[in-house]
Amino acid sequence: MVNQRFKIRESPSPNHGERRGDARVDMLILHYTGMASAEAALERMCDPATEVSAHYLVDEEGLITAMVPEDRRAWHAGVASWRGREDINSASVGIEIANPGDTDFAEEQMAAVAWLCRGVMERHGIPRRHVLGHSDIAPGRKIDPGERFDWRGLAGQGIGLWPGEAQMRGRAMREGDHGEDVERFQAALATYGYGLVADGRYGAQTAEIVAAFQRHFRPARIDGQADTQTRDLLAGVLAACVDQA
């Protein structure tokens, strides 16, 4: 790797295995560590007893640590789903970003994340729509990389998607609603990638998925309700999937 500006050090983790199935890597999953320090996170991900890992860790200063080779299956996604697939670990590269969860990400750290993401996307031909957060693939179970993460800034650099202007017809909805409008809205969520069945009932699972969608695209209000702005953003994301994926 040609790398003028960012440092990569190696700290091999024993926590990895063979990629399963067709083993094609076409997803990039971003996480935050949720721990007080990058060193503590590194120690945890290199401890065989924890059975967790990621391919890379990016610390607060932008130092990148390689833990698992990209051709191996790291253990970062857990129970997850996207576009009908559930073994996300076999299909993805995972990057952990040091952040306790309630702190802004430093500029130098995000610059390193962007540089690393671009390299991973190029090496594996990962489409923009497959650059996702842990919360996207495991809504209701995970909230990282959190609402402070600058998805919009990354999308401006070609990493991940950002919705354009669009409108979704139908009414605003929330948990407890049911009917055809709900079913159409759920079908749109499933088309984007979330693992849900469009049964026309806006239950707890749909609300969790809407909250995950908001955490990524409308962090100013994360309430699980399909208000007009949330619906229009979903339409904009689907349009971006067609245009940019």
Instruction: Summarize as ranges the residues that interact with Zn ion (CB under 5 A).
Output: 31, 134, 144
Least Å from the CB of residue 143 to Zn ion:
9
Taking the C-alpha atoms of residue 148 and residue 70, their distance in angstroms, rounded to an integer, is 27
| CB nearer to Zn ion: pick between 88 and 161 | 88
Question: Residue 178 Cβ, how far from Zn ion at the closest point, in Å?
Answer: 32
Do residues 65 and 42 lie in contact, with contact meaning Cβ atoms separated by under 8 Å?
A: yes
Residue with Cβ nearer Zn ion (145 or 163) = 145
Between 25 and 168, CB nearer to Zn ion? 25
Backbone angles phi, psi at 191, to 5 degrees: -65, -40
- Tell me the one-letter amino acid at 46: C
Work out how close the CB of 134 gets to Zn ion at its nearest, in angstroms, rounded to a whole number.
3
Of 116 and 240, which CB lies nearer to Zn ion in the complex structure?
116
**Helix, strand, coil shares, percent, the chain, to 5:** 35, 15, 50
- Cα–Cα distance, 103 to 115 (Å, whole number): 21
Instruction: In whole angstroms, give the CA distance from residue 224 to residue 12.
Output: 39
Please state the closest distance from residue 76 (CB atom) to Zn ion, in A: 6
In the complex, the smallest distance separating the C-beta of residue 235 from Zn ion, rounded to whole angstroms, is: 28
> From the CB of 197, what's the least distance to Zn ion, in Å?
25
Nearer to Zn ion, 114 or 132 (CB): 132
Q: Are the C-beta atoms of residues 230 and 218 closer than 8 Å to each other?
A: yes
Nearer of residues 144 and 177 to Zn ion, judged by Cβ? 144
Query: Are 58 and 120 in contact, with CB atoms under 8 Å apart?
Result: no
> Distance between alpha carbon 96 and the CA centroid of its chain, in Å?
11
Contact 167, 124 (CB under 8 A): no
